Amino acid sequence: MSVTVRSPGSDPARPARPARLRMVLAWCGVGLYPLILFEAMPRVDFIVLDATVAVLLTIPVLALLRRHPWPAFGLLLFGWLTAVVVEQGRYGMVGLQVLVVDIAVALITIDRSRRASLATVTVAVPVQLACLLAYVHGNAVLPAVGSTVLAGIVAWMAGNSVRERRQHTAALATQATEQAVTAERLRIARELHDMVAHSIGVIAIQAGAGSRVIDTQPHEARNALSAIETTSRETLAGLRRMLGALRAADPDTAARPAPLDPAPGLADVQRLVKAALDAGVQVDIHRLGERRALPAELDLSAFRIIQEALTNVVRHAGTSRCQVTIDYQDEELTIDIVDDGRGCDLPAAGGFGIIGMRERTSLLHGQFTAGARPEGGFRVRARLPLPVEARFMEARSMEAR
């Protein structure tokens, strides 16, 4: 037996009734609009009061133009046409009629399609001219007709300009959202590739080596299994960190976030050296310049570039040695990974790894090169410029010393 508890005010029928009641009252008032306008205006003695009454009566009709444009616009035209005819020669009321109808045309143009707005102004201008020609005669006809037509065109152009600006703004917002989603998807793809591909490569090599020596050299097989376990745990921790970051916006998990390991950086390069050594490749690390703290994004990208380059060496180079040079310069960080293996042309070496390294470098406004060396082997080089803020803080720290 299930029990459903509703809090007061949660009944969906309750808010609908007042809304329906307001809508019925609004349409009753709008339906009586021509009659009220017809009756009220001739009883007022001054044109200023006439205009005030007309505007106050017109506001409810303009309010309904957004949701129900055609009935409201038809009532607006009919009411003003009747009022102008009854006014018996008050030319000022004709001008006010032109103003109100043009405002309605602009409001409809803002919310509706161009075809619908053109139909609206095509109907509105002849009605305005009919009201105008009932009072204007002689030489004043041509200027009055021209100004009325021009006012209608200006009202349509103003509404159309607002509508196009809204559409352009919405298109830019949609494009920005799509670009943000694409950038985030590529970032996740790079992280997964750099982390998982490296680990799977090491695991595959260790598993193959362990299976070959398990009968003859049990100790080496045990070492291979230990390396597989360590690599697997590190990869699992990285995946948990990534999933935790992706779930950070989830309201169910935001209140109780899981502890996250810090993102890796150049300080963790020795982990890569050990993993490569376990896979049979000795990595020589050379650090040039003064080691210092780097921005988090640059530090992570540098680590991932080295990680992917070493993965390619382990999996494809067919060599037992490679060299990694990390050069801390004043305005940039240079990373150079060189091996003396079989080497290959860039199209053959291409893949998601090379693409990912190039994307990481490009996002930091750096320069990336990769390709076979003339003397043999393969070289990966990334030049990552330091942000201006980081250089400024470094200069301040050196002055403080």
Express each pLDDT in 25-70 by its tens digit.
656 655 555 555 555 554 444 455 555 655 665 666 666 777 777 8
Coil, helix or strand at residue 245? helix
Measure the N-to-C terminal CA separation of the chain; round to a whole number of Å.
Answer: 75
pLDDT, greater one: 157 or 254:
157
Residue with tokens 């303009």: 62
Both tokens of 251, joined, read: 């309201």
Contact 273, 283 (CB under 8 A): yes
pLDDT computed for residue 287 by the predictor: 92
Q: What's residue 90's pLDDT? A: 54
Dihedral sign computed on CA atoms, order 205, 208, 213, 218: positive
Answer whether residue 356 shows pLDDT above 90: no
Q: Report whether 124 contacts 101 (CB < 8 A).
A: yes
In terms of pLDDT, which residue wins out, 197 or 400? 197
* pLDDT of 359 above 80: yes
pLDDT of residue 351: 61
Q: What is the pLDDT of residues 136-150, one digit of tens each?
A: 777 777 887 888 889
Residue 284 — pLDDT band, cuts 50, 70, 90? Answer: very high
Q: What are the structure tokens assigned to 291, written together?
A: 């080691």
Residue 127 is predicted with a pLDDT of 82
Look over the chain and give the mean of its residue pLDDT values, rounded to a whole number.
Answer: 75
- CA-nearest of 308, 307, 298, 304 to 385 is 298
**Is residue 368 scored above 90 in pLDDT?**
yes
Domain 271-401 has CATH 3.40.50.720: no
Question: If pLDDT is split at 50, 70 and 90, which confidence band does 367 have?
Answer: very high
Answer for the pair 186, 359: CB distance below 8 angstroms, yes or no.
yes
C-beta of residue 303 within 8 angstroms of C-beta of residue 265 = yes
9-18, 287-296, 308-317: the lowest-pLDDT one: 9-18
- How far is Cα 232 from Cα 221, in angstroms, rounded to an integer? 16
| Across 126-130, 200-204, 246-250, least confident range | 246-250
Phi, psi of 9 (to 5 degrees): 90, 0
From the list 393, 192, 199, 384, the residue with the least C-alpha distance to 310 is: 199
| Percentage of the chain modeled with pLDDT above 90 | 10
Arithmetic mean of pLDDT, 140-164: 87
DSSP code string of 308-360: HHHHHIIIII--SEEEEEEEE-SSEEEEEEEE-S----HHHH-SHHHHHHHHH
Cα 176 from Cα 188, distance rounded (Å): 18
pLDDT at position 253:
47
Q: How much is the average pLDDT of 305-315? A: 87
Would you list the domain boundaries of the chain? Answer: 17-135, 271-401
Taking the C-alpha atoms of residue 75 and residue 37, their distance in angstroms, rounded to an integer, is 11
Burial of 40 (0-12, 13-18, 19+ CB in 10 A): middle
What is residue 113's DSSP assignment?
-
Tell me if residue 10 falls in helix, strand or coil.
coil
User: How far is it, in rounded angstroms, from Cα 53 to Cα 202?
Assistant: 84
CA distance 231 to 208: 15
Structure tokens that stand for 191 in this block = 């992280």
Q: What is the pLDDT of residue 236?
A: 77
pLDDT average, residue stretch 235-251: 67
Judged by DSSP in three states, 370 sits in strand
Q: So what's the pLDDT on residue 387? A: 79
Reduced to 3 states (helix: H, G, I; strand: E, B; else coil), residue 288 is strand
Tell me the average pLDDT across 72-96.
67
- Asked whether the predicted pLDDT for residue 2 surpasses 50, the reply is no
Split at pLDDT 50, 70, 90, the class of 326 is very high
Question: What is the C-alpha separation between 14 and 161, in angstroms, rounded?
Answer: 40
- The neighbouring-strand residues paired with 337 are 324, 380
β-strand partners of 379: 338, 371
In the numeric block, which tokens belong to residue 279?
Answer: 């896979």
The pLDDT value given to residue 220: 79
